[in-house]
Homo-oligomer: A and B are copies of this chain.
């Protein structure tokens, strides 16, 4: 739904809305008749909430489309992810509190391993430690010199870093250099248009110098870059929907996504318990809370069915703390599916429930994929309509038309 359309109907009141995102929550059974991770999990509290909620499955982007973290979150934030596209570089920058300026070009980098022929043998350099990453970034920052451009190389986490180029008339319209496959060389920096551009030349120079500096390092002896982009100029979430909005996320990417749409990012620890602590602590100060749980996705990507189940159960255990705060509307969902049998993000619809006093509950008694098919939101609810529906349930929308 068009954000401007909703924005005109928005009114303010004292209600509170919580959006609880379990990253990659949607799953698959290991065998045809088996249970998905969410179905397997013992989720007494989520199930109790489901009986009082309207349930369904949501489509983050479009049928058959596997969303990255960006589009997956923009959808549940009420932004059409096809209309509102942003590069990974910008997200990475926001996620580590890098103060991106207008005109800066940001890219996400991986430290990787290449062999003597220059072919990539590990795209993540064995997931080097964050400490090692810091050391390498410092080295690159110190040594790389490109005339006319200021170069920032900042640690994100493990093998991930952020590259920012600051200079005049730079372009974010560049291809990734990450070949996404082993046994291939990093790709030549080049423009999306195929035309010659000075930014592509600058990136070439950066990669060349970085390769030389890292040559004798092990295992991180090269860099891969992706998601070149500039910061977009979008309607903000708090203004569009009329809510003072806070984000609680242990991982930088999701803090970045929340910041991008104008939410305040709250201080939190890394555990689920600490995230719920942050909600309690800030409850009075905000109308809207986005809570992000990362590890459902991480374990899904690792193919670790049992640990993904455990994370769901851990969230379930904390849920009563949220209920005790008596939010007017709660949405529980994910940004996409990450079935542990696939070990990656997938296109499958994502379980969702929306609780409010006025939600008109359906007959779903267990928060799981198969049961949600029969829910009142339907099996293909557009993710971008969740925020409008939450606003309606919080009585924050005016009637449309006479």
**Chain A interface (Cβ < 8 Å from any Cβ of B):** 1, 5-6, 9, 28-29, 32, 36, 51-52, 56-57, 61-72, 81-82, 85, 87-88, 91, 108, 226-227, 339, 341-342, 344-349, 358, 360-363, 369-370, 373-382, 385, 388-393, 397-402
- A339 contact set on B, CB distance < 8 A: 358
What are the residues of chain B within 8 A of A6 when measuring CB–CB? 64
For A87, the closest partner residue in chain B by CB is B402
Distance, CA A134 to CA B361, complexed state (A): 46
| A-B CB contact pairs (8 Å), 29 listed | A1-B63, A1-B64, A5-B82, A32-B361, A56-B379, A61-B400, A63-B381, A63-B382, A64-B391, A64-B393, A65-B388, A66-B397, A67-B400, A68-B399, A68-B400, A72-B401, A81-B400, A81-B401, A85-B401, A88-B402, A91-B402, A226-B402, A341-B358, A342-B358, A347-B392, A347-B393, A377-B379, A378-B379, A378-B380
A385 contact from B29, B63, B361, Cβ within 8 A: B63
Q: Are A108 and B402 in contact (CB under 8 A)?
A: yes
**A399 CA / B32 CA spacing, docked (Å):** 25
Does A346 lie within 8 Å of B374, measured CB to CB? Answer: no
Contacts of A1 in B (CB 8 A): 62-64
Contact residue among B52, B360, B361, B369 (Cβ-Cβ distance under 8 Å from A360): B369
> Is B64 a contact of A392 with CB atoms below 8 Å?
yes
Known: A66-B398, A68-B402. 7 other contacts (CB 8 A): A63-B385, A64-B391, A66-B392, A68-B400, A68-B401, A341-B358, A378-B380
Quick one: closest B residue to A68, CB to CB?
Answer: B401
